[in-house]
Amino acid sequence: MINFLLLPILIPLMTGVLLIFFPKHIKWQRWIAGILSFITIIVSMMLVQKVKTDGIQTLNVSSWDAPFGITLVSDMLSALLVLTTSIVAFTCLLFSFRGIGEEREKFYYYPCCSFLIVGVNGAFTTGDIFNLFVFFEVMLMASYALIVLGGTKIQLRETIKYLLVNVISSALFVITVAYLYSVVGTLNMAHISERISKVGQPGIITVIAILFLIVFGLKGAIFPLFFWLPGSYYAPPVPVMALFGALLTKVGVYSIMRTYTLFFYHDTGYTHQILAILAILSIIFGVIGAIAYWDIKKIVIYNIIIAVGAILFGVSAMTPDALTGSVFYLIHDMLIKAALFLLAGVMIAITGTSNLKDISGLIKRYPGLAWTFFVSALALAGIPPLSGFVGKLLIIKGGFEAEQYWGAAIVLMSSLLILFSIMKIFINGFWGTPRAYEGEEKVPVRTLMIAPVVLVMISVFYGVGSEVIFPYVSQATETLLNPEIYIEAVLKER
Amino acid sequence: MEILMAFVIGILFMCATYLMLSKSLLRIIVGTGLLSHGAHLLILTMGSLKRGAVPLLGENASSYTDPIPQALILTAIVISFGVTAFFLVLAYRAYQELGTDNMDKMRGNKGND
């Protein structure tokens, strides 16, 4: 079972390749994509269990020894993220079966989704910095295709902006890798970490650290670099939006987490302080956006930026509690954002608009939708028995321990405003006098609701059963706190 | 030699930034092309430009140039080639549908707020 950690990358890749051959047979496309993506969930669960019992899994591709070949590394953090990705991908596919429309499905929608998952899972699993770049590109290329698929005017317009921003950030990534290579002379992440700790952290490494922050911040939408996100995520259809909102920015967040705990932990007074300030500013600006809009999609989109800020604030504090909180919150946020986007998608499908002022009284006709939305709104804000609570509690606790009182206070207060922004959707959309909407009888609400209900159930379990999940998360945090564990696992032969 | 290359790459980045800040979509795409050229030259330069044989074992030389940056560049070139091809077709489609290549006119809030 030595190649086991490849399977979450390999299965979607094979799915994508297979599905290219018969684009017009939609039924087959759906069945194959659905079944194989379910198998990916099972495989990633087994991978999590394997990492739990046997420690970090590494695979030297083609048996070249560690610093010379490409190494794939699956520690607990990446295994958990791969599992979450697989779950989100499966539920988004379930939603797509009824929600995306046949004309898109005929034009390679499912292959593109599979390739997106290849990129995301690969980026979580790789142990080589240039390989990370390649998986980023796999993911981005699939996302360009998905965001423009259908070719409406708004999609074309926003894709141009999205593509341009990502081309620039990819070029910056290449430049940063070039600088790093010229300083340390290696590309294997564990080996880089070892070499950096050997020279301490001279000024040039700090510069590279900030460059990495800019690169991954552009992908992950932190404060001054989130400008592209609200427009671009608004354009694609809902299941695509859910995939993007749940997965793409989180890959950037994961990369910041990885580089800032594995490479650049020597001069935290400078780099992590900047990270903390940017995280807090993302929370503030995200909250402003979330409150300002009367549009369901926009409100959820700005909530992505707030969550990214909260997670990175936890990373910047670098205490055990804060990092545990970040990991908890990261996984929670992937699940709940996908659920919220899909629920918003059901609302939009019923009403035909995303403007809150044109919607009211949905609870009379669709109580199931209303209460699912209510639960996911409470989970997003972090009300105790639900999933957002533990993560945020630990982030705030860690923030206070690191004496970042202002930051922790802002994270705390942001919860209130998140609750306000999301309750605005609930109060205006579901309460009030019921209206009749054009063509609402044709919408298959019951089948559309399966995916978000599954996600909300998982996230409720995640909140209520956090005792069960805690050992896994604390194992993930252990690696983040002690890079030696990671280095030893990768470079064990020497 | 590296100093000279650094200046050349700097000028490439400068031109790329200038072009990408302009209004016409085609100028922006030319800018991304220059940006990727700069990035690729930078990898080559950062791998240091020592003298040595081409990395072919048949050369039987005492020292070779560093093969890793060349492999990295080859990867980065094909990736940016793919992305640029996609971008050009996208620009063509956008010109057909939206009837403009001016980024200012692609702003608009219709269906966007």
Q: What is the pLDDT of residues A267-285, one digit of tens each?
A: 888 999 999 999 999 999 9
B64 touching A (Cβ < 8 Å): no
Phi-psi region of A411 (alpha: psi -120 to 50; beta: other; left: phi over 0): alpha
For residue B45, list chain A residues with Cβ-Cβ distance below 8 A. Answer: 178
pLDDT single digits (tens) A450-473: 999 999 999 999 999 989 999 999
Give the per-residue pLDDT at B111: 45
Cβ neighbours for B21, distance < 8 A, ≥ 6 positions apart = none
ipTM: 0.94
Q: What is the mean pLDDT of residues A350-364?
A: 89
CB A93 within 8 A of CB A113: yes
pLDDT single digits (tens) A150-163: 988 889 999 999 99
Minimal C-alpha gap between B47 and chain A (Å)? 6
**Cα separation of A67 and A482, whole Å?**
20
B42 touching A (Cβ < 8 Å): yes
pLDDT single digits (tens) B45-101: 988 788 888 999 998 888 899 999 999 999 999 999 999 999 999 999 999 988 888
B76 touching A (Cβ < 8 Å): yes
Angle at alpha carbon of residue A78, lines to A76 and A84, rounded to 5°: 100
pLDDT single digits (tens) A56-104: 999 998 888 888 999 999 999 999 999 999 999 999 999 999 888 888 9
Cβ of B83 within 8 Å of Cβ of A137? The answer is yes
Question: A118 is written with which tokens?
Answer: 């290849």
Share of chain A above pLDDT 70, in %: 99
Predicted confidence (pLDDT) at residue B110 exceeds the cutoff of 90:
no
pLDDT, greater one: A324 or A269: A324
pLDDT single digits (tens) B18-49: 999 999 999 999 999 999 999 999 999 988 78
* A71-74 and A57-60 strand pairing: antiparallel
Residue of A64, A167, A179 to mutate, testing the B interface (most B Cβ within 10 Å of its Cβ)? A167
A230, amino acid identity: P
Mean confidence (pLDDT) of chain A:
92
Minimal C-alpha gap between A171 and chain B (Å)? 6
Q: How far is CA A151 from the centre of its chain?
A: 25
Helix axes A405-430, A388-401, angle to 10 degrees: 160
Nearest to A7 by CA among A35, A40, A54: A40
pLDDT single digits (tens) A107-131: 999 999 999 999 999 999 999 999 9
End-to-end CA distance of chain B: 52
Residues recorded for chain A: 494
> Does this model's pTM top 0.90?
yes
Q: CB-CB: which of A145, A154, A182 is closest to B111? A: A154
Cβ of B46 within 8 Å of Cβ of A182? The answer is yes
pLDDT single digits (tens) A17-33: 999 999 999 999 999 99
Nearest to A111 by CA among A146, A148, A160: A146
Helix axes A466-481, A76-99, angle to 10 degrees: 130
**Cα separation of A455 and A141, whole Å?**
27
Residue whose pair of structure tokens reads 């910056």 in the numeric block: A172
DSSP state of A39: H
Dihedral sign of CA atoms A462, A468, A474, A477 in order? negative
Give the per-residue pLDDT at A66: 80
Beta bridge pairs of residue A126:
A72
Give the per-residue pLDDT at A384: 86
A471 phi/psi in degrees, rounded to 5: -55, -40
Q: What is the mean pLDDT of residues A212-224?
A: 93
Cβ of B75 within 8 Å of Cβ of A134? The answer is yes
Give the per-residue pLDDT at B113: 40
| Burial of A188 from C-beta contacts in 10 A (0-12 / 13-18 / 19+) | buried
